[in-house]
Structure 1
Amino acid sequence: MIVVMKVGSPEAEITRLSKEFEEEGLSPEKIVGKHKVVIGLVGETASLDERQIQEFSPWIEKVLRVERPYKRASLEFRHGEPSEVWIDTPNGKVPFGQNHPVVIVAGPCSVENEEMIVETAKRVKAAGAQFLRGGAYKPRTSPYAFQGHGESALGLLAAAREASGLGIITEVMDTADVAKVGAVADVLQIGARNMHNFSLLKKVGAQDKPVLLKRGMSATIDEWLMAAEYILAAGNPNVILCERGIRTFERSYARNTLDLAVIPVLRELTHLPLMIDPSHGTGRSEYVPAMAKAAIAAGTDALMIEVHPNPAKALSDGPQSLTPDRFDRLVKEELSIIGKAVERWSEPAVALV
Structure 2
Amino acid sequence: MKTAKLRRVLPLALAATAALGLGIGSAAQAAPATEGDVQLLTTDGNTGLAHTIRGFWGNWQQFGHLDGYNGVTAMASTYHFGAEHAFVQHDGGRLSHLVRHNDGTWDDPDVLTVPAGGKLDGLSATDVQGRLTLVGLRNGKVQLSTVQDDDSWSSWADVPSDGKNISSVSATTDGKGTLIVAELDGAGNSVGVFKRSADNQWGKGSWNPASPNATANATEISAAYATGQLQVAAVETEVDGAYRSVFHSTLNDNGQWKPFQPLYGAIGSSPGIAAHVAVVPWEGDLQLAYSTTDGRLFHTIRFLDGSWQSWGDVEGAAGNITAGPLTMASNTF
Whether these two folds match at TM > 0.5 is no
Scaled to the shorter chain, the TM-score interval is 0.3 to 0.5
Report which of the two structures shows the higher radius of gyration computed on alpha carbons.
1
TM-score by length of 2: 0.33
More strand per residue: 1 or 2?
2
